[in-house]
Amino acid sequence: MDMEQGRQLAQSFDEMGGPGGDCRPQYRVIRSWLDGAESELLRLKREEAEQLFRQIGITFAVYTEGGDPERLIPFDLIPRILDGQEWDYLERGLVQRVQALNAFVADVYHEREIVKAGKVPEALVLHNESFEAEMQGFTVPQEVYTHIAGIDIVRTGPKEFFVLEDNCRTPSGVSYMLEDREVTMRLFPELFGQHSVRPVSHYPDELLETLRSVAPERCSGEPTIVLLTPGQFNSAYYEHSFLADEMGVELVEGSDLIVEDAVVYMRTTEGLRRVDVIYRRIDDAFLDPLTFNPDSMLGVAGLMQAYRTGNVTLANAPGAGICDDKAIYTFVPEMVRFYLGEEPMLNNVPTYNCAKEEERHYVLDNLSELVIKLVHGSGGYGMLVGPRASEAELGEFATRIKAKPEAYIAQPTLALSTCPTFVDTGIAPRHVDLRPFVLVGDRVRVVPGGLTRVALREGSLVVNSSQGGGTKDTWVIDLPEEPSS
């Protein structure tokens, strides 16, 4: 560990309580269990976990890697724990934020009041890569655009939570949240006996309820819901099949669907069957080759007509991905005020917009202390962590930013909180983030917790699975009332 990393870790807030520090109450049981557990036992448990995952086929194809296309996402045995009160606050903040984001998307495709009010620049909306003109003027069922949102949250202190990113396009990872819980319960049933851990396994039911509630108005009776996947070579295919299975809906590919006279049908062994709601896990550009990318082989020709005619609901709505834009992100607190008339409960990470000259100068002068991200990037690709970067990398990014400033934003390098993690050298603190999933339908639904991602490399701040990150089960526990003395 170099000096820089050492300082980083020393500054980080440990969610259990550092080596010398007091153990925080929600970790007491885990702490004493860890103190008593032999490394050998943990190693065995880890092997067992790996086997469980392999059998059920959890795999995650990584885009740029050659080699094993079905590498496992590493799973860390030690759960990450939030106490009920912490979570309740977070949850209220999440609901607030996602309601504002949904209102924003609705506004973006109608009157754009927020632009007219001068709160968000017109170019950022109308010239955004993710702005879909084809959505203009279309009011969707229940006025829900961001049916499934994944909000990435980081923590820097006991009460300091920040939103790092909003994911309203097709957020993934929820299957890991569910499987991590399943496996943890199989490995350590005794730990669950000693805590009251809030359940997450009803997520698929909540998702199904959400999708049901946004069925087209003209659909009478039980809507037929399907999950549209790009196919088994997609990196998140496992999750698609897992969710379809858990919800009891068909997992379809574009070629299974057909549009006839503005109605979507699926091809079944008994002939065509009408489809009412599509939970789509393919990108906007590939949805309908007659409307978007004409070369798409993944989508369904005529789908947009069926959609705009009101014969089928798409979740999430095309064009909702504008929320994922990292320049739009900086305006989310403003959206909360504008649409809800409330003060935002969750803070953004301070963000410098390289498109603005003054901020760009600051960024270029302080590159080595900042994290640089692509405005349209995701999955940790095209990202620079200043304090970890070499001189050459810094120079390269400076050139890139100067060439195309509007493509980049910068944020201070946050001292992400750490959680005890089982690594080769034993139990050690590693940086984590949290992606809770928020469902918007007739009402907003959130399951407690979310997916905790952990940077397994010592000192690393990048938690993305594509960059060597792992996952942890996330517990929200309700502590027994402390006897008042």
CA distance readout (Å), 36 to 31, 33, 49: 9, 5, 20
Measured over the CA atoms of residue 259, residue 263, residue 264 and residue 270, the dihedral's sign is negative
The nearer residue to another protein, 133 or 392, going by C-beta atoms, is 133
- As given in the structure block, the two tokens for residue 58 are 């959890």
CB of 196 closer than 8 Å to CB of 263: no
255 binds another protein (CB under 8 A): yes
Q: Which of 166, 253, 325, 473 lies at the binding interface for another protein (CB under 8 A)?
A: 253
The nearer residue to another protein, 62 or 226, going by C-beta atoms, is 226
DSSP output for 23-79: PPGGGHHHHHHHHH--HHHHHHHHHHHHHHHHHHT-----TT--S-TTPPPPEEEEE
Choices 80-88, 93-101, 252-260, 376-384 (CB under 8 A): range interacting with another protein: 252-260
Compose the 2-41 pattern: x for residues touching another protein by CB under 8 A, - for all others.
----------------------------------------
Rounded to the nearest whole angstrom, what is the least distance from the CB of residue 314 to another protein in the complex?
14
The nearer residue to another protein, 109 or 329, going by C-beta atoms, is 109
399 binds another protein (CB under 8 A): no
Q: Where are the alpha helices (DSSP H) in 150-197?
A: 174-187, 189-193
283 binds another protein (CB under 8 A): no
Pairing of the two strands 408-412 and 370-374 = antiparallel
- How far is Cα 470 from Cα 485, in angstroms, rounded to an integer? 42
CA distance readout (Å), 115 to 118, 317, 368: 5, 21, 34
Rounded to the nearest whole angstrom, what is the least distance from the CB of residue 359 to another protein in the complex?
23
305 binds another protein (CB under 8 A): yes
The nearer residue to another protein, 289 or 386, going by C-beta atoms, is 289
The nearer residue to another protein, 242 or 352, going by C-beta atoms, is 242
309 binds another protein (CB under 8 A): yes
- As given in the structure block, the two tokens for residue 389 are 């970067």
Tokens 């009157």: give the residue: 111
Compose the 52-71 pattern: x for residues touching another protein by CB under 8 A, - for all others.
--xxxx--------------
Rounded to the nearest whole angstrom, what is the least distance from the CB of residue 112 to another protein in the complex?
8
Rounded to the nearest whole angstrom, what is the least distance from the CB of residue 256 to another protein in the complex?
5
CA distance readout (Å), 232 to 236, 298, 332, 479: 8, 12, 35, 42
- How far is Cα 387 from Cα 77, in angstroms, rounded to an integer? 29
Q: Which of 44, 117, 123, 479 lies at the binding interface for another protein (CB under 8 A)?
A: 123
Choices 76-84, 277-285, 303-311, 453-461 (CB under 8 A): range interacting with another protein: 303-311
301 binds another protein (CB under 8 A): yes
Q: How far is CA 113 from the centre of its chain?
A: 28
51 binds another protein (CB under 8 A): no
| DSSP letter assigned to residue 448 | S
Q: Which of 232, 365, 404, 442 lies at the binding interface for another protein (CB under 8 A)?
A: 232
Q: Which of 41, 44, 117, 126 lies at the binding interface for another protein (CB under 8 A)?
A: 126
Residue 429 dihedral angles phi and psi, to the nearest 5°? -75, 135
The angle at the Cα of 383, spanning 378 to 384, to the nearest 5 degrees, equals 160
Choices 77-85, 141-149, 238-246, 372-380 (CB under 8 A): range interacting with another protein: 238-246
266 binds another protein (CB under 8 A): yes
Q: Which of 43, 71, 119, 127 lies at the binding interface for another protein (CB under 8 A)?
A: 127
The total number of residues written for the chain in this structure: 485
Task: Tell me which residues touch another protein (CB under 8 A).
Answer: 54-57, 109, 112, 122-123, 126-127, 132-138, 231-232, 241, 244-245, 250-253, 255-256, 258-262, 266-270, 289-291, 294, 301-302, 304-305, 308-309
